[in-house]
Amino acid sequence: MSLIYLSAWDLTLAAGLVLLLAGLSWRLDLGVERRVLIAALRSTVQLMLIGLVLKQLFAQTHLALIGLIAFVMLSAAGWEVLGRQKHRYRGFWGYGIGALSLFISSFSVTLLALVVIIGVKPWYQPQYLIPLLGMMLGNTMSGVAIALDQLTRQAWDARGRIEARLLLGGTWDEAITDIRRDALRSGLIPIVNAMAAAGLVSLPGMMTGQILAGSPPLEAAKYQLLIMFLVSGATGLGAVAAVWMGSRHLFDERQRLRLDRLMAAVRG
């Protein structure tokens, strides 16, 4: 099966659905039409630019340039995690917790996949590294953001209960253990639901793309399984790392609750 190339007109027709969505938002007074249009414009510019960059990158496999692109991807994911929290950590930790947990989880799982599972030589071939890292970061970012948001929200709301546990002699770990557990559950829900629905409710993105590109459906299913297993591992590692660092930073060296390290409310 030959690959069917999309024209500018094909994309314009599909973009009409976004305009329809914006029109419905305006007609129903939802107030999100501007955000929808800006998001569509951003995705168009970003994807076309990255397509041009990757075209050049695939032709030369320059390690320094690959590292720069990976750093930009990690930095952007860290900012997205920060932007999705109601109660943000102040100072460096507001960005550092999310970015560091993404680095630990997504990069380690991507390296495992490239070096051990797939066996790419050299391991930094951009046509493998960049797409895999993008999938790891994109999915792990959502889990980490949800987990941190739940952690800080619940800690803020339950500050009286936490301080009471500390006064009764509990350690910081014991005082926040139930909140931390709930935050981790929340962070893992998206990937668990995605795995449960895969193949029955939906065909995930990578499998759909490979089938449209002409790959045998069974091979596409194998690659999709590989990606989902990798993503679940990365999401779990990222959420655990973020929640542990985030909960520990809520207490000082004398095990006192320090909610002054959080901003009162960033959004609604």
Yes or no: say if 100 and 245 are a contact pair by the CB < 8 Å rule: yes
> In the prediction, which pLDDT does 268 show?
45
State how far the Cα of 142 lies from the Cα of 145, in Å rounded to an integer. Answer: 5
CB count within 10 Å of CB 153 equals 18
**How distant is the alpha carbon of residue 75 from its chain centre?**
12
Instruction: State how far the Cα of 117 lies from the Cα of 112, in Å rounded to an integer.
Output: 7
* C-alpha span between 236 and 104 (Å, rounded): 11
Q: Where are the alpha helices (DSSP H) in the chain?
A: 8-27, 33-60, 63-83, 92-102, 108-112, 126-157, 159-167, 172-197, 205-212, 217-249
Encoded tokens for 197: 């629905």
Look at 37 and 2; give whichever has higher pLDDT: 37
DSSP class of 257: B
What is the pLDDT confidence band of residue 266, given thresholds at 50, 70 and 90? low
Beta bridge mates, 89: 262
Name 198's bridge partners: 202
CB 140 within 8 A of CB 235: yes
Which tens digits make up the pLDDT trace of 178-228?
Answer: 999 999 999 999 888 888 887 777 677 777 777 777 778 888 888 888 888
Considering the chain, what is the average pLDDT of its residues? 86
Dump pLDDT digits (tens) for 140-186. Answer: 999 999 999 999 999 988 888 988 998 888 888 899 999 999 999 99
The answer for residues whose C-beta is within 8 angstroms of residue 45's C-beta and 6 or more apart is: none
**pLDDT-based confidence at residue 245 (cuts at 50, 70, 90):** very high
